[in-house]
A = this chain, B = another copy of it.
Amino acid sequence: METVERLIRSTQELLWERGYVGTSPKAIQIAADAGQGSMYHHFSGKAELAKAAIERSGAELRAAAEEQFADGTSTERITGYLRREREVLKGCRMGRLTSDPDVMADPVLRAPVDETFQWIRSRLATIIAEGKENGEYPAGLDATRTAATIAAVLQGGYVLARAANSQEPFDLAIEGLVDLLTGVTS
């Protein structure tokens, strides 16, 4: 693999594990097996490398979601997305960046994070709207609100799981949401 590619992937991994503040250029170089000079030749510094890594992660997350959204009823697509296998205890690569002060303070770094969540909420809202049209969901269901709730349960599920050092709270939160969405209670 080429140096630039190794640098980007190593940065993605380190941002996931340790965040932006907790990731040093030195650590990236070691993980990518690249020298100091090499890294600074290809990227102006830590920030530019992080930008490339975050954008890459955003594209990968969207692609993974689209796979789940490909076909099925609205409920099947949403529950498929919610229940797909995830590295729950590692947390969300994108969501964890929202607690990184230097990422949030830099519009260039925050933009791909923002866009990723806007996209997923909008995509979920569309699927819910389709479910309303074909009678799968009641007409009174607010698609925009519900989409935000679904995205929030996922992100919050990661938080609860990491706090507990166990996947269980994540699964509970997801299944509790599925119960509410599929009217298991009525």
Binding site for B on A (CB under 8 A): 17-19, 21-22, 91-92, 94-96, 98-102, 104, 110, 113-114, 116-118, 121, 137-138, 140-142, 144-160, 162-165, 169-170, 172-177, 179-181, 183-186
Contacts and interface: CB of A to CB of B under 8 A. Distances in A.
A118 B165 CA distance: 11
A132 B137 CA distance: 25
Given A21-B21, A22-B102, A152-B177, 6 more contacts: A17-B101, A19-B99, A114-B164, A117-B160, A144-B172, A154-B156
A149 B164 contact: no
The interface centre, meaning the residue of A22, A94, A99, A142 with most chain B CB atoms within 10 A of its CB, is A99
Contacts of A110: 163, 165
A162 B21 contact: no
Contacts of A144: 172
B172 A148 contact: yes
Contacts of A184: 140
Given A137-B185, A173-B152, A162 B121 contact: no
Contact of A99 (B99, B114, B141): B99
A164 B21 contact: no
B96 A163 contact: no
A101 B95 CA distance: 14
17 contacts: A17-B101, A18-B101, A99-B100, A116-B163, A117-B159, A117-B160, A118-B164, A121-B160, A140-B184, A142-B179, A145-B173, A146-B176, A148-B157, A148-B176, A150-B176, A151-B173, A155-B155
